[in-house]
Chains A and B, each alone.
Chain A
Amino acid sequence: MTDPILELKDVHSGYGSIKALKGISLRVYPGEVVAIIGANGAGKSTTLMTICGIVKAERGQVIYKGQVINTLLPEKLPTLGLCQVPEGRRIFPRLTVMENLRLGAFYRKDTDEILKDIQKAYEMFPILGERKNQEGGTLSGGEQQMLAIARALMTKPKVLLLDEPSLGLAPIIVQQIFNIIDRINKEDGTTILLVEQNANLALQAATRGYVVETGQITLEDDSTSLLANPKIRAAYLGE
């Protein structure tokens, strides 16, 4: 078996006195799509923020490609190929679409490649090409989600962390976004760790899933098994 590209070992973290993660351990292997599902406030987003170093791990280790990364500065991680599309998309509202994309490639020096990648982003999301000189804050929710993903792709990620990509979007847009996620995984071979409240959607897109409850992993299985699991169906699939 190959080594995991991303691994969390007994990670604890939180916000001041509030402990959000109480010993999260998980593994993501190269090329996988892994979903983390769970209720609101279970610690899904904190898990991603801890991986990215925005929230500091108080105990445990985050290991990426065999290297402990929770001691690194957060701004170092995208340069190693680890990037997150955060919850709420966080588009820079007063930068144009083009500038948002350009900043995704902030650490890169290959100017020609960057321009090509921006063109690729416009091909993948034609609406972004039409709005390239518009300020990010003026885009609709779905467009912002597309821009957020496109911006993350500009960092050339090996592992892409996606936090609630379906949040607040119309079903048809959600479908588009998930098609794109599938494409990023299949065509570029990008490993994806996906956090979703919409468990059904997440498990259909993923090969494996973790269930998080109050800061701990309570279940880990193949997506098909999780989808068939009566407990999961009752708790997260609304049956």
Chain B
Amino acid sequence: MDYFIQQLINGITLGGIYALIALGYTMVYGVIQLINFAHGEFFAAGGYVGVILLSYFAGRGLMETHPWICLGMSFMLTMGYCAFLAMGVEKVAYLPLRNQSRLAALLSALGVSIFLSNALMLTQGVFDKPYPGELFNGGWEFGLVTISYLQVMIVTMTIVLLVSLNILVFKTKMGMAMRATAQDKTMSALVAIGSNRIISLTFAIGAGLAAAAGIMVGLYYGSVRYDMGFVPGIKAFSAAVLGGIGNITGAMLGGLIIGMVEIFGAGYISGQYKDVFAFIILIAVLYFKPTGIMGVNVDDTRV
């Protein structure tokens, strides 16, 4: 039983991280029907900017004196950086192809992914980069179950981000415009909503969330690598498909399920197959219910 609860806690932590990444896939798909294969790279970039900032703060001894301020600053700057990166990528690689076939933008996305991943490798090196280690050591112990402070921080942060996103999308005027753009771009223009601005915003938000996930993963596993975006990227994509691509609630749910399945699969079946479980789900969903849990219709996209 203790083991089960421990796995449950680990699963929630990881699932929340996948949910954050999955949202970027699903929101971009909802608005322009593009699977942004470069999305995982924003996550990786986030992990790197995070480690650079935190190491800088740690080097000046600021982490000891003001840990929360340093952490908050790191998250904000990293999310901002990745948001701008994504907006730039959208302008350069996707906007010119907006009226071409969807395949053109998809290939462009693959190209961007390779480009960004290599740029990271060339500038940051091929080796793992460790996160400052002394952060959030310790935790609460309940018998054999341990909840680390880090897990609490990650889960809290994830919840805050997910709730904020929900408020933004479902309660604000911008969110309304975003949903309208996803449903009918021509009509949106007729009521003065510039779709390019909304699309840009969607990329920025998605990348910001992925960047936050990047720092969380860096903190959680202790290090980052230039190619760290690929596997979590595909797992988060699986999560988005599982939830119903284009559906925000679906992506959150899908991320949680994929995280749980991975942790429980690794815990009860085999740790060596941990990466396989997400893909088994992806294949099963595509085979049995391609529209996913919350998806209604393949053409019926929503943000």
Contacts and interface: CB of A to CB of B under 8 A. Distances in A.
A151 B192 contact: no
B187 A106 contact: no
A232 B173 CA distance: 47
A187 to B, nearest CB: 22
Interface in B179-229: 179-180, 183-184, 186-195
A151 B180 CA distance: 13
A84 B187 CA distance: 9
Contacts of A103: 176-177, 180, 188, 191, 193
A154 B194 CA distance: 17
Contact of A106 (B177, B183, B302): B177
Nearest to B184: A90
Contact of B180 (A76, A79, A92, A154): A92
B193 A75 contact: yes
Contacts of B180: 92, 95, 103
Contacts, number: 66
A167 B83 CA distance: 44
Contacts of A99: 176
Given A94-B302, A102-B173, A79 B179 contact: no
Contacts of B183: 92-95
Given A94-B302, A103-B177, A76 B192 contact: yes
A90 B189 CA distance: 12
Contact of A92 (B184, B192, B194): B184
Contact of A94 (B177, B179, B186, B195): B179
Interface residues of A, number: 28
A86 interface: yes
Contacts of A73: 189, 194
Interface residues of B, number: 18
Nearest to A105: B191
Interface in A102-118: 102-104, 106-107
Given A99-B176, A103-B193, A106-B177, A54 B184 contact: no
Contacts of B187: 86, 90, 92
Interface in B151-185: 173, 176-177, 179-180, 183-184
A232 to B, nearest CB: 30
A229 B183 CA distance: 44
Nearest to A108: B192
B171 to A, nearest CB: 11
Contact of B190 (A78, A93, A102): A78
Interface string B105-129: 0000000000000000000000000
Given A92-B184, A94-B183, A95-B183, A75 B177 contact: no
Given A92-B179, A95-B176, A155 B192 contact: yes
Given A92-B179, A92-B180, A86 B192 contact: no
B192 A78 contact: yes
Nearest to B190: A84
Contacts of B193: 75, 103, 106
B191 A155 contact: yes
Interface in A132-189: 151-152, 154-155
A148 to B, nearest CB: 9
A74 interface: yes
B179 A95 contact: yes
Contacts of B194: 73, 75
Given A90-B184, A92-B184, A83 B190 contact: yes
27 contacts: A52-B189, A73-B189, A75-B188, A75-B189, A75-B192, A75-B195, A78-B190, A78-B191, A78-B192, A79-B192, A83-B191, A86-B186, A86-B187, A90-B184, A90-B187, A90-B190, A92-B183, A94-B179, A95-B176, A95-B180, A103-B176, A103-B188, A103-B193, A104-B191, A106-B173, A106-B193, A107-B192
Among all A-B residue pairs, the 7 with the closest Cβ atoms: A78-B192, A90-B187, A107-B192, A74-B189, A75-B194, A75-B189, A92-B183
Given A84-B190, A95-B180, A107-B192, 19 more contacts: A54-B186, A54-B190, A74-B190, A75-B188, A75-B192, A76-B192, A79-B192, A90-B190, A92-B180, A92-B183, A92-B184, A92-B187, A94-B302, A95-B179, A99-B176, A103-B191, A106-B192, A152-B191, A154-B191
Interface of B: 173, 176-177, 179-180, 183-184, 186-195, 302
